[in-house]
Amino acid sequence: MKLLNFELEGEIRLGIKTDRGIIDAKKAAAAYSCDVPTTMEQVIAGGEQGLKRLAALLEADVDMMEEDQIVYAPPVVNPEKILCVGLNYRGHAQETKAEIPEWPILFSKFNNALAAHQQVVKLPRTAEKFDYEAELVIVIGKEAANVTKEEALSYVFGYTCGNDLSARDLQLRSGQWLLGKTCDGFAPVGPYLVTADEIDPNNLDISCEVNGSVRQSSNTGDMIFDCATIISYASQYMTLKPGDLIFTGTPSGVILGYPKDRRQWLKPGDEVSIIIEKIGTLTNKMG
């Protein structure tokens, strides 16, 4: 199932994307007196049973909204954790002349970094070297602590597109990457959250376009640590909670990987699109 959040009348509403348009779950549930989840948090908490109840709306003759009528919100609006993995594609490690890591390199972003599809991301005046990073994002579905690699994917609710925007001059100011990674709006996600039953995370084409020009083009099969390994590894040290987001790393083609004389950093007015097979296209304009 392909889900989304959107803003309406001052609240975040749950939507279901169909071939015919967007279903407003709250409105449809009220119209048909259906006992279904009406927020993304409720859907995630309900697991398979919640999804089965929600699927009943797909069979009903409900009103549809056109996609250009809605204002998107991040598919998860208040995750407890936003974890990220650095240097997790072989091609990206090579282009940055970094050694292949022995363990997943984990860092974090905060909720202030969340941005929605089509939201303008204001670039901070305190930096100059802004870069894109196309990433598959895991959405955790149930509490996970000390899980094995073999069982790890059963803890996933779904997947979405992400852009790990980075201010490289701030990121590399010290040995800690945080400052350059969690500026306001530097974690766009969306537009859709696709449930795990529809996705093989180990074989998805992933790309990034800037102003319509392809900058990254790869497949998640190039990951050094696959999604199951990442989840299992992180869960050994912290309990993952429903709604947690994990950015799984970016392929080659980032601006930082270009020779210094060819680096053209993102600037206001640039439009960045992250495209992931079977999930969708996440687009943001820099402001």
| Among the ranges given (51-55, 72-76, 78-82, 144-148), the one the predictor scored with the smallest mean pLDDT | 51-55
CA-CA distance, 90 to 100, in Å (whole number)?
7
Residue-level pLDDT at 223: 97
CATH for 76-285 (3.90.850.10, 3.30.300.30, 2.40.50.140, 3.30.70.20): 3.90.850.10
Higher pLDDT, 91 or 222: 222
Mean pLDDT, residues 32-51 taken together: 91
pLDDT confidence of 271, banded at 50, 70, 90? very high
Residue-level pLDDT at 194: 98
- Tell me: cis bond preceding 191? Omega within 30 of 0 counts: yes
Residue-level pLDDT at 62: 85
Spatial contact of 116 and 72, defined as CB atoms under 8 Å apart:
yes
Spatial contact of 280 and 118, defined as CB atoms under 8 Å apart:
no
Residues 6+ apart with CB under 8 A from 44: 50, 139, 141, 157, 242, 243
Residue-level pLDDT at 96: 84
User: For the segment 59-88, what is each residue's pLDDT rounded down to a tens digit?
Assistant: 888 889 999 989 999 999 999 999 999 999
pLDDT at residue 149 greater than cutoff 90: yes
Biggest alpha carbon–alpha carbon distance for the chain: 62
Strands 130-131 and 114-115: unpaired
Residue-level pLDDT at 191: 98
Of the chain, the percentage scoring pLDDT greater than 90 comes to: 87
Residue 203: Cβ-neighbour burial (10 angstroms; 0-12, 13-18, 19+): exposed
User: For the segment 231-268, what is each residue's pLDDT rounded down to a tens digit?
Assistant: 999 999 999 999 999 999 999 999 999 999 999 999 99
Residue-level pLDDT at 97: 83
CA-CA distance, 189 to 118, in Å (whole number)?
10
User: For the segment 171-228, what is each residue's pLDDT rounded down to a tens digit?
Assistant: 999 989 999 999 999 999 999 999 999 999 999 999 999 999 999 999 999 999 999 9
User: For the segment 124-135, what is each residue's pLDDT rounded down to a tens digit?
Assistant: 999 999 999 999
Residue-level pLDDT at 59: 83
Instruction: Find the helix or strand (DSSP H, E) in which 49 lies.
Output: helix 40-59
Of the chain, the percentage scoring pLDDT greater than 70 comes to: 100
pTM of the model: 0.97
| Residue 88 dihedral angles phi and psi, to the nearest 5° | -110, 10
Spatial contact of 174 and 249, defined as CB atoms under 8 Å apart:
no
The mean pLDDT of the chain is 96
Mean pLDDT, residues 4-33 taken together: 93
Dihedral-angle region of residue 256 (phi above 0 means left; psi in -120 to 50 means alpha; beta otherwise): alpha
Spans of all domains in the chain: 2-72, 76-285
Residue-level pLDDT at 275: 98
